[in-house]
A and B are shown apart, each in its own frame.
Chain A
Amino acid sequence: MLNPFGPHRDAHAPAREPAGATLVVRLDGDLVIATARDLHHRLRVAARRRDARLVVLDFAAAGRFDSAGVAAIALGQRQLARAGKRVELRHLGDHHRAALALIPTTRPAPEAVEEPAGLLERVGEAMLHLRGRWSQLVELIAETGRQTVAVVTRRRRLPAGAFVHQAVTLGVDALFIVGLLAFLMGMTMAFQGTVQLSRFGAGVYVVDLIGLSVVRELAPMMTAIILSGRAGAAIAAELGTMRAGAEIDALQAMGVSPVRFLVLPRLAALSVTQPALTLLATFLGMAGGMVVAAISLAMSPSVFVARIVERVELADYAHGVGKSLIFAWIIGLTGSFFGLSSPGNARAVGAATTRTVVVCVFFILLVDATFATVPALFGGGS
């Protein structure tokens, strides 16, 4: 049979009494957070032993307790009882008795789970002055970098489930609106394009016009502007409200980095969903153009698609998607910055939200203009 006590074989070898039905588990050393996992394991193994009827927990050599040790013993006692074993505690010191008295005697059955009240209900009152914005922003970016490294090197984890939750609320839930607006934008572009180009008999070039402008400029920018209003504002409002409820103070006081706990999951979610949404917008924008081309130029969809494949290169897609990644970081960091540095009252949360959208759109257009002009000025690409 598998040795249940692993490295503790000698110190903790189960001493069986003549009756053959008693298992003595000797607890030695401190029963604290650092050793609770091990203790939990030993008691679970003891509960699985078929040959023992009576399990004796011997505290003669046990040292200090903390709540983790008490919890492990409480849990072990219940598991042993469920396995049909009698449990006896021997050589308890007064200190042990006092600590074990922490174990609740009754475990009330949980009632039905109730719905939480909205986050915005708990908006606080204190107003702090905003100052040192710039150094705060630099600090946020630096801390984001540090925590990203810590998470990537597996020294720290993101909170469980946070990435998926954020990816769904910030990205997946925006699928419909981004898709619809991209489709309409493609249609509008195509209408304008056909009207102008047909005057020169160059109607067919509407495909090039739509293909290139949607892939390189319009899809990344439309998506970014929609997400500024949607995701950026949501991040600022949520973090601003958490600031108001002193939740962020609480995290800091616990020694948990608010950036890792709150900002990283949102940034990571946007970094994945925004390029994906941009690609979706690209294809739906082209589809919108294709519909208009089919109606007003009687161009068959297969011709349209063939020409797109011919004229739009992989580098154009990379340009658009790469830009969208930068836009994602602008949105995530701006929202987090204004949210985290919000002084924490209802009006401040509103101001943080508004400012986030304005600043996001400004920087998105600025970066976009830089991307469009700098390579051209220096003789590169486009």
Chain B
Amino acid sequence: MTALVECRGVSVGHDPDRPVLTGVDLQIEAGEIVVLLGPSGCGKSTLLRCLTGLMPPLAGEVLLFGEPLYQASPDARRALLRRTGALFQQDALFGSMSVSDNVELPLRETTTLPTAIIREMAAMKLALVGLGGLGHRWPANLSGGQRKRAALARATILDPAVVFCDEPSAGLDPVVAAGVDDTFLRLRDLFGSAFVVVSHEIASVRTIADRAVMFAGGAICAAGTIAALTASTDPVVRGFFHRVPAAPGVAAATVR
């Protein structure tokens, strides 16, 4: 079976001469929750932008559902991206639309469903993320956590096969963050969605992740199940999972 998402020797970065990540090989299978870990600035978010079709890789190939994403025509690329969802670090809600309109937008734009069903689906997804009854509000009138959850409802409204999330629980209180984790697990169980999550919250990672991929020093430095990574003796991995401050030599190696 082809992987939902596949990276083959991918390099990413803003400057072609200085890629932040090189030689990334990655496969995400259906229904998997994979967490991308690593120190700030290591290129996790850049890689995620690359996977969501926003930034071509400097080298290598990105495949979604077995199709090369960046070689495809603009229409074909959009068709591939419609089968994915993306949750941005900023919530990226449209400030000129109510929360419901935001959540309904992908349905209105890409399906021919009757309006009544579209409304129902949006209300359902909003209730699922704990925002039932707040659909008429404007994004500016929601708290940061509520906006994040509204964006999650929008990202998952089409029951995408894979959802890309950039720090979904950053800036959320622990209870709300646990709610977001729970939403991931429910969506995965109900609709078989896979999730690719960039996260720093080790507690959340332990709850949701089937696998984790750790980046440091411009490449993948470790990958495997959470249990395997927790038991790892690699100083960078240990530092992350056991909150050990980096020794000066290690810092030089990881934070470039």
Mark A residues whose CB is within 8 Å of B.
33, 36-37, 40, 65-68, 70-72, 74-75, 98-99, 102-104, 106-111, 113-117, 119, 121-122, 124, 143, 146, 159-160, 242, 245-247, 249-250, 252-257, 261
Query: In the complex, A351→B225 CA distance in Å?
Result: 49
Q: A71-B120, A116-B138 are in contact. Are A254 and B105 (CB under 8 A)?
A: yes
**Which of B52, B135, B140 meets A253, CB within 8 Å?**
B52
Residues of chain A within 8 A of B138, CB atoms compared: 114-117
In the complex, chain B residues whose CB is within 8 Å of the CB of A40: 114, 116-117
Tell whether B250 is near chain A: CB-to-CB under 8 Å. no
Verify A107–B113 contact, CB threshold 8 A. Answer: no
Residue among A71, A72, A98 with the highest chain B CB neighbour number at 10 A: A71
B94 at the interface (CB under 8 A from A): yes
Can you give 21 contacting A-B residue pairs, CB < 8 Å? A36-B113, A37-B117, A67-B125, A98-B189, A98-B190, A103-B124, A104-B123, A109-B133, A114-B136, A116-B96, A116-B138, A117-B141, A245-B90, A245-B94, A247-B94, A253-B84, A254-B82, A254-B110, A255-B110, A256-B106, A261-B109
Complex contact A116–B95 (CB within 8 A): yes
Count of B residues near A, CB < 8 Å? 53
Question: When chains A and B are docked, how far (Å) is the Cα of A65 from the Cα of B124?
Answer: 14
A108 near B132: Cβ-Cβ < 8 Å? yes
Interchain CB contact under 8 A, A68 and B135: no
CA A43 – CA B31 in complex, angstroms? 31
Residues of A within 8 A of B81 (CB): 252-255
Q: Is the CB–CB distance between B110 and A256 below 8 Å? A: yes
CB distance from A5 to the nearest CB of B (A): 18
Contact with A along B130-161 (1 / 0, CB 8 A): 00110111111100000000000000011100
Minimal beta-carbon separation of B78 from chain A (angstroms):
4
CB-based contact B140/A121 at 8 Å: yes
Residue of A nearest to B118 (CB): A71
The answer to whether residues A246 and B114 also contact, given A67-B121, A71-B121 and a CB cut-off of 8 A, is no
A122 near B133 (CB under 8 angstroms)? no
Q: Taking A116-B95, A247-B94 as contacts, is the C-beta distance between A255 and B78 under 8 angstroms? A: yes
State whether A250 touches B92 (Cβ < 8 A). Answer: yes
Within 8 A of A (CB), among B83-135: 84, 86, 88, 90, 92-96, 98, 105-106, 108-114, 116-117, 120-121, 123-125, 127-128, 132-133, 135
Q: Which residue of A lies closest to B83 (CB)?
A: A255
Chain A residue nearest to B111 in the complex (CB): A33
Q: Is the CB of B127 within 8 A of A104?
A: yes
Binary CB contact string for chain B from 237 to 254 against chain A (1 if under 8 A, 0 otherwise): 000000000000000000
